[in-house]
Amino acid sequence: MLSITPLYAKTILVVGDSLSAAHNIDEQSSWVNLLRQRVQAPWQVVNISASGDTSDNGLAKLTRYLSANKADIVIIELGANDGLRGLPLNGLQRNLGEMVGLAQKQSAKVLLLATWLPPNYGPTFIKRFNQVYLDVATQHQVALIPMFLQGVAGDPALMQSDGLHPNQKAQPIILNTVWPRLQTLLNN
């Protein structure tokens, strides 16, 4: 009897906010879709990111997704909205830790993507915000990109008029920032 192997046997799951949900740009040009084009079978990319999502929303979505599906790699890109809304950082740390734990219970590898807040949030809050990601990555021993918008954020040519969201030209740069750490997870 002929056995048929599914074309996509492994899943990269992206759970994020507007930075991964193609906010105000053509979805086909988003860094997540460019990732979809770069990876090859047996890998598929599933994106459950949505504009406005906080770490609370992300935890709920990830819990639902993983209860019904398997993911081999989980990319967590959340926290910007928590920071912009001034939500308690202990909640962000707890939620990120729970998301990492859920993924690891399923034997998924995790890549944590952090971003920086605008300077008007003040150096103390920003330092504490950045430390959350370092603490979660260290505690759970997961890969971290401390600024996945490196080379993009703050460059008016690469940002939308709101100054918060990368434009279409920035998307390949974002993918190239994420790719080396992700490629390590894909190869191991």
So where are the chain's domains?
Answer: 10-187
Catalytic choice (3, 67, 107, 162): 162
- Give the mean model confidence (pLDDT) for residues 48-74: 97
Helices and strands, counts by H and E, the chain:
6, 5
pLDDT in tens, 109-156: 999 999 989 888 999 999 999 999 999 999 999 999 999 999 999 999
Catalytic residue among 17, 53, 72, 165: 165
Q: Token pair of 67, please? A: 């209860």
Residue labelled with tokens 């954020």: 153
Taking only the tens place, the pLDDT of each residue in 36-49 is 999 999 999 999 99
* pLDDT at site 125: 95
The topology under which CATH files domain 10-187 is Rossmann fold (3.40.50)
Q: Does residue 56 carry a catalytic annotation? A: no
Known catalytic residue at 18: yes
Q: List b or e across 74-86, with b for residues whose CB sees 16 or more CB atoms inside 10 angstroms.
A: bbbbbbbbbbeee
- Could you report the per-residue pLDDT of 68-90, keeping only the tens digit for each? 999 999 999 999 999 999 999 99
Residues 123, 186: Cα–Cα separation, whole Å: 36
The pLDDT, as a whole number, for residue 22 is 96
What integer best gives the mean pLDDT of the chain?
Answer: 95
**Alpha-carbon span 73 to 121, nearest angstrom:** 32
Specify the pLDDT at position 3. 40
- Residue tagged active-site, from 18, 20, 30, 55: 18
For residue 107, pLDDT over 50 is answered with yes
Phi, psi for 73 (deg, rounded to 5): -135, 135
Statement: residue 179 has pLDDT above 50? yes
